[in-house]
């Protein structure tokens, strides 16, 4: 599954607290056009379960932890995000589901595109057809 990669982000340590800078096309491999975050998710709940045709996404566990199930139509891989300086790049054409959120977790998402309902593939059978083209 070479379309997805874990990326360690820079961590500037300070006794008063750490900071992690994220810049377009430097720390993440695309220009960010949209940022959103998921929060107040009950512990153990799931989100996502879709793919994108064009949009790249970069996920960070800004707080707490969760797992991401990645599926390219042939191979599945589970990735755990549990540090705010570790991000997951998800390329278009990957079915992704966020699972097993810890209580109080925050999933920060940076996307390469503004929201477009037409870009989403929300049905797994449609995803398999998309991948077979």
Q: Give catalytic residues, as residue numbers.
A: 50
- The answer to whether the CB of 126 falls within 8 A of the CB of 93 is no
Q: 32 forms bridges with which residues in the sheet?
A: none
> To the nearest 5 percent, what fractions of the chain are helix, strand and coil?
10, 45, 50
Please, is 25 exposed, middle or buried when counting C-beta atoms within 10 Å of its C-beta (0-12, 13-18, 19+)?
Answer: exposed
Strand partners, 89: 5, 58
């Amino acid at each position: 599954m070479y379309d997805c990669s874990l990326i360690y982000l820079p961590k500037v340590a300070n006794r008063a607290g750490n900071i992690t800078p994220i810049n377009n096309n430097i720390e993440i491999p695309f220009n960010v056009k949209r940022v959103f975050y998921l929060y107040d998710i009950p512990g153990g709940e799931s989100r996502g379960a879709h793919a994108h045709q064009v949009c790249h996404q970069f996920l960070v566990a800004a707080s707490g932890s969760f797992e991401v199930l990645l599926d390219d139509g042939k191979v599945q891989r589970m990735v755990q995000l549990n540090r705010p300086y570790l991000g997951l790049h998800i390329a278009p054409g990957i079915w992704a589901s966020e699972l097993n959120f810890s209580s109080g977790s925050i999933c920060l998402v940076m996307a390469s595109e503004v929201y477009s309902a037409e870009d989403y593939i929300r049905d797994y059978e449609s995803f398999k057809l998309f991948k077979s083209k």
